[in-house]
Structure 1
Amino acid sequence: MATVFFLSPAEQELILASVVSQPAKNFFSLATQPPITVRLISGGGSDRRFFRVIKEGESMILMVSPPGDRDFAFYLETGELLRSLKIGVPEFYQVIRNEEAIFMEDLGEESLYSRIKSGIRESELIFWYQKVLEVLVEIQLEGAKRCLAYPLLRERVFDYATLRWETNYFRENFLERFCGILIPDKFGLDKEFAALAEKVAAEPLYFIHRDFQSQNLMIKDEQIRIIDFQGARRGLLQYDLASILKDAYVVLSDETRNKLLEFYLEKLKEKGVVISDQEHFCEMFVLAGLQRNMQA
């Protein structure tokens, strides 16, 4: 059960004004009655900021987007879509569109990543990953049907241009700038990246989260909850599957990954999606993982 919205309109306005007017400050103690504390908890990989707001032992999250954030509208629409599918995204208590901010449910601090890193048995790891894959199948298949009714998401596709933007960014910013690698044959490398993008973009379209990894999967009340879904779009099945099974943060053994792949394919089959060419499916799983890990 989500926390009830416990802030008055005046308190909302005061909190939002405080964090917007002092963006470098990461902690506020507001002299209200009762007092309210506001603490920066994450800046993530973008300019979006997340604060935990606490009043009388109750908490919620305030997300503040930078001005003109193109993903803000996608975040709202994706949240609405996933909530309609009974997927465990945070409840939105109050949306302040002119400030591109949302007061939302606090899902706590335990992610799938932190649960695994705390030390769990193999059987428990398999249990949690199977729960995650059940949620993923629901997002991919039911989301693909439902997203066509959402104007922004209907037009947002993981297409060739987006895939090439990712690999160009990887080459320029990671290989050349960060690693300092001098690439002797940029034309040849770009040709390989173009071939990769063509294959990935040619696959049937489902609905994907696009950053479906262990740090974006929270555990609250022993249920899987999902955050950071502003990049969601239509794309190939194997992309999110590779994101979680070839996660940069949690390395699975080949044996475990293969067990989970079999479980995933069985769940697809139960939903009426039969993968007749498993060799092609596995090839695209490898290619999607390559594309994904260049983006991550």
Structure 2
Amino acid sequence: MSAIDFNKILMLFESGRLEVVDLWGGSDRAFRRIFLPEGSVILLFQRQTVKLLRYFELLKSLSEQSIPVPKIFGIDAARRVMALEDAGDMSLYLWVNSTSDFSPYFEAVDILARIHELTAVRGASTRPFEFVDLINESHYFTRHFLVRLCEFSPDVLDYIEDEFYGIATEVAGSPRGFMHRDYQSQNILIARGKIVVIDFQSARDGFRVYDLVSLLEDPYVSIPERMKFLLIRAYLDSSALTKDEKQRIIEVYPYAALQRLMQATAAYSYLSLEKGKRWFLKFLPVAVERIRFWLDETGRFPGLARVIDESAERIKKFRL
């Protein structure tokens, strides 16, 4: 669509003459699907103009570097709105759960390897993802999953904090790159047979392995272990990392899996109890089971293992 089309879209939208469906959004942004004779378009509304302009530059920069993101049809900074290609609702999560076809994951890991090699991405956060952010995620896990949902005493942190530091130290020693930071199956869409990646607003310099486990250890989708092995190998084959760096990715993978799964478990707890989105509770048993699996694989964190075992019993009260 041209700029003239974009202005017409806004005029029709504001007149109330278009069919509109509210999609998901956050505290300072909202997505709406509008229906035109030639197809549907997504309107992104952002409360802060600076954030909207930054995201506009980010998507443009990613597109210029051949990363498959939604096309931009236009932006109006005064109205704080941007029009984007509608990539549909068929996420990788829905695809796999409806078809049992894991083949798009190979394209997803290839795209991820390319994302990790990006440099000088305009509009991305200039604050890198660091060791302290990993520790903050562990504290988030303690507050919302262990204390708020499982009703442990806040003192439980004293019992396991050294182990949190051990996990974070391993992850922080892994190869860095440009990371998406939430590269999971619901942020990867399949449109016209091709992948489109969304939700880059947290992208920044960080740990490559974090994105890889976000995709492959995602509690939304149960990927067979043999398939995970093939996908890790495909990612490493597509990567420009050195032999030693690739080996480090393999070594750190279990620790990164623990880190990301704790973050996801905390997010499910927060969204369920604080935001009323109770359907996230159904993913807790899988997330807890996978945390326990990776604790067994590392064999290093007995305190956290005992807490997770107790947590597995306590979440049964939700009848998941």
Q: Which TM-score applies when normalising by structure 2?
A: 0.74
Q: Which runs of 4+ in 1 moved over 6 A?
A: none
Aligned to 1:9: 7
SS class of match (1:64): strand
SS class of match (2:158): helix
Residue in structure 2 matching 1:106, options 86, 111, 127: 86
Aligned to 1:292: 260
Deviation, 1:233, is 0.8
Aligned to 1:27: none
Aligned to 1:85: 65
Deviation, 1:242, is 0.4
Aligned to 2:19: 37
Q: Distance in 2 between matches of 1:250 and 1:220?
A: 19
Question: What per-residue deviation string (whole Å, max 9, x for no partner) do you get for residues 113-170 of structure 1?
Answer: 11111123xxx41x211111111111111x1x343xx3x5372211122222222122
Question: What per-residue deviation string (whole Å, max 9, x for no partner) do you get for residues 201-244 of structure 1?
Answer: 33332011111111111111111111111111111121111011
Residue in structure 2 matching 1:159, options 119, 130, 145: 130
Aligned to 1:76: 56
Q: Distance in 1 between matches of 2:7 and 2:238?
A: 45
- Structure 2 stretches lacking a partner, 5+ long: 265-320
Quick one: structure 1 residues 256 and 111, their matched pair in 2 at CA, closer, same or farther if it must change by over 3 Å? same
Quick one: structure 1 residues 5 and 186, their matched pair in 2 at CA, closer, same or farther if it must change by over 3 Å? same
Superposition pairs for residues 137-216 of structure 1, below 5 Å?
A: 137-141=113-117, 143=118, 145-147=119-121, 150=122, 153=124, 155-216=126-187
Deviation, 1:6, is 7.1
Residues 217, 225 of structure 1: 8 Å contact kept? yes
Aligned to 1:274: 242
Residues 131, 224 of structure 1: 8 Å contact kept? yes
Aligned to 2:228: 257
Deviation, 1:183, is 4.9
Quick one: structure 1 residues 287 and 71, their matched pair in 2 at CA, closer, same or farther if it must change by over 3 Å? farther
Deviation, 1:85, is 1.2
Residues 176, 206 of structure 2: 8 Å contact kept? yes
Residue 135 (str. 1) matches residue 146 (str. 2): no
Aligned to 1:226: 197
Residue 53 (str. 1) matches residue 34 (str. 2): yes
> Counterpart of 2:261 in structure 1: which amino acid?
N
Q: Distance in 2 between matches of 1:160 and 1:216?
A: 25
- Structure 1 stretches lacking a partner, 5+ long: 19-29
Quick one: structure 1 residues 75 and 170, their matched pair in 2 at CA, closer, same or farther if it must change by over 3 Å? farther
Deviation, 1:102, is 1.4
Residues 74, 230 of structure 1: 8 Å contact kept? no
Question: What per-residue deviation string (whole Å, max 9, x for no partner) do you get for residues 252-279 of structure 1?
Answer: 11111112112222222xx4x2333665
Deviation, 1:7, is 4.1
In percent, how many aligned pairs have the same letter?
31
> Counterpart of 1:52 in structure 2: which amino acid?
R
* Structure with the larger helix share: 2
Residues 37, 53 of structure 1: 8 Å contact kept? yes
> Counterpart of 2:249 in structure 1: which amino acid?
F
Q: Distance in 2 between matches of 1:206 and 1:137?
A: 9
> Counterpart of 2:19 in structure 1: which amino acid?
T
Q: Distance in 2 between matches of 1:64 and 1:8?
A: 14
SS class of match (1:229): coil
Question: What per-residue deviation string (whole Å, max 9, x for no partner) do you get for residues 170-221 of structure 1?
Answer: 2112221122222544223222223333332333320111111111111111
